[in-house]
Structure 1
Amino acid sequence: MHADPTRELTGAGVRRATRQATAARADTSWLTLGGDVLSALTVAGVVVAVFGGAFSALRERIAARPEAAATHLPGELTALVAALLVAAGVVALLSRLGPVSATPATAAWWLPLPADRRGLLRGELVRTCWVAVVAAVVVALPVVLAAPTAPTVPEVAVGVLAAVLLALAAVGVLVVLQARELTGWVAPAAGAVATVAVVVPAVVGTIGTWGWVPSGPGVPLPVLAGVLVALAAAALLAADRVTGRLRAGALRDRGAAVFVASASALSLDTRELGRAMGTPVHPPRRTRTWAWVRQPWQAVVAGDLAVLARSPWRWGQLAIGTALPVLAARTDGLGGVPALVAVAVVVGWSIAAVALGEPSRSAHAAPAADRALPLGAKDVVRARAIVPTAALVLVCAVSAGVAGLGWQWAALGAATAPAWAGAVVRGGYRPELDWSGPVLSSPMGAVPTSVTVTLVRGLDLGILGTVPLIIGLLLGDVPDLLLAVALGWSLLLALISVETAQKKA
């Protein structure tokens, strides 16, 4: 038989045939699909309404409070920093997981076919664009609603549309870089941008007054919209042209990472999610002798220091964790609301704790190296707490001291550090999810009933250790009694954290 040229495989034809076969075997009707779409739109509308009402109420509450004396940063700037921080995280995530990848099914069935890869992967590109659109809306909406003056509906629409177009342009650029295998620098660059965006305003707001206030564009809106539309269209067209050059091996590897990350996110397994998206540890540029290592516990400390030194992003996380409370305390409106500053403290110190928890997480995943040491399990866990304690004493003391502008605040922050150090070890040695017991039905699927305990293990004691600092923020002062209570309370929580982690070591 001679092949019929009209029946030649094309990427679009394969995707269409697969879609038709899936629809023929599916038990979902158009009525069900329409109901799902209507439900999704309803949920989106409710979320927008809740966000708008919450930001409106918060804006009125902030306006009613007297301005704090030490606030020098405009609220628009802090909102922009928060958006840039989230956007950098999304860009880094896309650069590591894609943005174009092949799921295990796609790699097994589609890639070996004699069809153009550009047409086969166009659906993956479209899905990534939709993810970017949703992320842009989620990031831009709070920023627009956080303006000091209540924005109008057209202003909200313009701001969100600009964010969507920029997100689509970023996806196109990332795909072009992926085709040329040049995405290795994107995640470190995004991390550096996020670090600078948080640290610089915090430092400037502490030593002086920030003079520049973000405002609307200096060019007419129609011209700006035309430029953004042209930029997004050019980037997406370029991305569509280069998808055919993507190697099958690279697509398969990234698809496997996406599959693991998706499954981990749906099952709320943050440990496996962190492994799928873990930051690489760079090899040392020069040989270190570690001449001071004489005892087994010192070898554990040296290993923890080596992990921290060889991962530049960990240092960025520590800098961001230190600067976030300062940024909130220096922002007009936020600095006068102790509850918001306390939230920034918990978020910032949690980021620093996650950065310092990599050795404990690795030791829990591969305990063979620790078992080879002439140390008991209790001594190993205690040694694991030394580096986090030393680092968090510095982070918490600088962060609280600069935010509160006083040595008493620095001492209170340092007194809180042991609780967070214990939380680092406790969280690193937390058990895996137990799927052998009963499961709980959730919108994302079945999850173990113990998932909540696993998720908050470590963070729970860190937040409890921050209670004295929160009391100090509410009082506006640090009495000597509070400082003594904070130190004792923090040491007690650290002891509980280490002892409970030993049972899992």
Structure 2
Amino acid sequence: MSAPASVLADRGAELSGAAVRRLTRRATAARADTTAAARLAEVWSSLVSGAIGVAVVAGAVASVRERVTLAGAPVTATVLPASVTAAVAAVLALAGLAVALARLGPVSSTPAAAAWWLPLPAGRRDLLRGELARVTAAVVGVAAVAALPLALTLTDAPSAGGVAAALAATAGTAAALVGAVARAQTRGGPGRAAPLAGAGAVAVAGAAVAGATALAATGGGDLPALPGVPAGWAAVPVAAAVLLLAGAVAGLDRLGAGQLRALGATAQYAAVSAVSLDARELGRALAARDRREPRRGRRFPRVAGAWQAVVAADRTALARSPWHLGQAAVAVAVPVLVARTDGLGALPPAVWVACVAGWALAAVAAGHPARQAQAVPALDRLLPLSAAGVTAARVVVPLALLVAVTTLTGLLLGVGSGAPALWTALCAATAPAWAAAALRGAFRPEVDWSGPVVSTPMGALPTGVGATLVQGLDAGLVGSLPLAAALVSGGPTPLLVAVQLGWSVLLGAGVLTLVARRRGGPG
């Protein structure tokens, strides 16, 4: 690659990291196919799309807020103020962000950059701080855009100062999180950040659910609302972000080339999976983690047949993935938190959507062993079982996990409602449909890029891509319709419990039949 004369005028001088980055920018700009006008048009289009998205979300939040104001009696006892639930939701969002940063690396190097940049005799700190700056800017921008509609609609009379303080606090918190994970990366790898963030999220959600359930059971009144934070306190996360990012930049020289290449390959793998709309591969990229120590040995139980071997392998695979077990715990907490929140608990659609969201999260966790089997289909073909037999064996572990999740959800929802047994039975009756949904999502067909495509704001996408991506979720949604009827009608009845169980079993059996037929086909 030829370099600009101004950069390489002094052949005897060693290039600094800043000079290498400047040389790369100039070379890229010289070979770019786009013009400045095209870039300005793209920026303007992005800004307009973002503004439209903020307006739509703000309108939806305002509509929900108005419905909360006009809502009637809740179907269960509500003891949580909205501020407490919002704080728990913020903790869960920050934990998810921390996990994504730890898996992909705040600082990484793509294979191309690793091949050219890392061997150069230039300071690694100057080479890499641009990557850290780009990641920080992207995270802060997304966080600010996501927080803007909430800051505009969740207060009675939003002011410019209050909205600016909320956005500053959000941006500072996001930047501080990036700095903390990056600093951990420079001190031995970001692998510790994901387990700590996951454990913290589960602990906070569990504590909130336990407190709300205890108050509902004893009739001890509502939890006090969280006090408002003065606008001046927004400077605290900003100051913390500056200190953490400065510490991370100072430690960039300690990053090894191997770690940077590994994180860069994972980030590129995740980016390609997202662009190609392959949610399973994206999940595998985010679930990958370094193992510095060998796995603890596990003794398999004695099995008497092939289907028992499949069940034992699935159970072991799920037990070796504490991340998915944490997902199941959060899946129980989400519906309970929404149902116990003042205002939201009086909106049957909100409670039903929370149940669907939580149980969909549990179905994703329960489908982890099946997704591993989908990645290597030859292993299932070697078993002395038919496609229907393998499918029936694969559903045992998801069914057991989802029975536990839905039953515990119903039990916690029913506390203080006067009919805890009916709530428990109604929610548990949805488990067959969600277990079938877990396998339907794990074994759904790949997106077909060989057919016709349609133009969308995200680019050209295959026709019918939406129907492919929602396979699995659709079965859970349809299977939970009797629960929606119970919420709208004011509570469960024995008839609705029977209808829910019969409908869930029939739907689950039909879905599993389709999955087995698809897996038993040619190829």
Structure 1 and Structure 2 fold alike (TM over 0.5): yes
1:133 aligns with 2:140: yes
Over 3 Å counting, the alpha-carbon distance change for 1:285 and 1:104 in structure 2 is closer
Q: Where in structure 2 are the equivalents of 1:320-359 lying within 5 Å?
A: 320-359=330-369
Over 3 Å counting, the alpha-carbon distance change for 1:393 and 1:281 in structure 2 is farther
* Alpha-carbon distance in structure 2 between the residues aligned to 1:279 and 1:8: 38
Moved more, 51-60 or 493-502: 51-60
**Aligned-residue offset at 1:152:** 2.5
Show the counterpart of 2:210: 203
Q: Report Cα offsets for 1:139-160 as digits up to 9, x if no partner.
A: 5335535646343332121011
1:288 aligns with 2:299: yes
TM-score by length of 1: 0.93
Show the counterpart of 1:418: 432
Q: Report Cα offsets for 1:389-420 as digits up to 9, x if no partner.
A: 12212211221232244211211112111000
Is the Cα contact below 8 Å between 2:191 and 2:290 reproduced in 1? no
Over 3 Å counting, the alpha-carbon distance change for 1:281 and 1:469 in structure 2 is farther
Structure 2 residue corresponding to 1:318, chosen from 312, 328, 335: 328
Q: Secondary structure at the match of 2:461?
A: strand
1:37 aligns with 2:47: no
Moved more, 453-462 or 19-28: 19-28
The AA in structure 2 aligned to 1:39 is: S
Q: Where in structure 2 are the equivalents of 1:111-260 lying within 5 Å?
A: 111-141=118-148, 143-145=150-152, 147=154, 149-208=156-215, 209-217=221-229, 221-222=231-232, 224-260=233-269
Is the Cα contact below 8 Å between 2:437 and 2:476 reproduced in 1? yes
Over 3 Å counting, the alpha-carbon distance change for 1:389 and 1:146 in structure 2 is farther
* Alpha-carbon distance in structure 2 between the residues aligned to 1:157 and 1:78: 22
Structure 1 residue corresponding to 2:315, chosen from 302, 305, 314: 305
The AA in structure 2 aligned to 1:260 is: Y
**Aligned-residue offset at 1:434:** 2.2
Q: Secondary structure at the match of 1:277?
A: helix
Show the counterpart of 2:399: 389
Q: Secondary structure at the match of 1:335?
A: helix
Structure 1: 5+ residue runs without aligned partners? none
Is the Cα contact below 8 Å between 1:168 and 1:232 reproduced in 2? yes
* Alpha-carbon distance in structure 2 between the residues aligned to 1:252 and 1:289: 36
* Alpha-carbon distance in structure 1 between the residues aligned to 2:274 and 2:79: 39
1:459 aligns with 2:473: yes
RMSD: 2.2
Structure 2 residue corresponding to 1:26, chosen from 32, 35, 42: 32
Moved more, 83-92 or 31-40: 31-40
- Equivalent pairs counted in the alignment come to 500
Q: Report Cα offsets for 1:142-180 as digits up to 9, x if no partner.
A: 553564634333212101111111221221221121112
Structure 2 residue corresponding to 1:408, chosen from 422, 428, 432: 422
1:264 aligns with 2:273: yes
* Alpha-carbon distance in structure 2 between the residues aligned to 1:384 and 1:281: 27
**Aligned-residue offset at 1:358:** 0.8
Is the Cα contact below 8 Å between 2:191 and 2:289 reproduced in 1? no
Moved more, 106-115 or 398-407: 398-407
Moved over 4 A (4+): 279-284
The AA in structure 1 aligned to 2:402 is: L
* Alpha-carbon distance in structure 2 between the residues aligned to 1:102 and 1:246: 11
Show the counterpart of 1:446: 460
Show the counterpart of 1:56: 62
Is the Cα contact below 8 Å between 1:281 and 1:311 reproduced in 2? no
**Aligned-residue offset at 1:350:** 0.3
Q: Report Cα offsets for 1:297-328 as digits up to 9, x if no partner.
A: 11111111111211112221111111211111
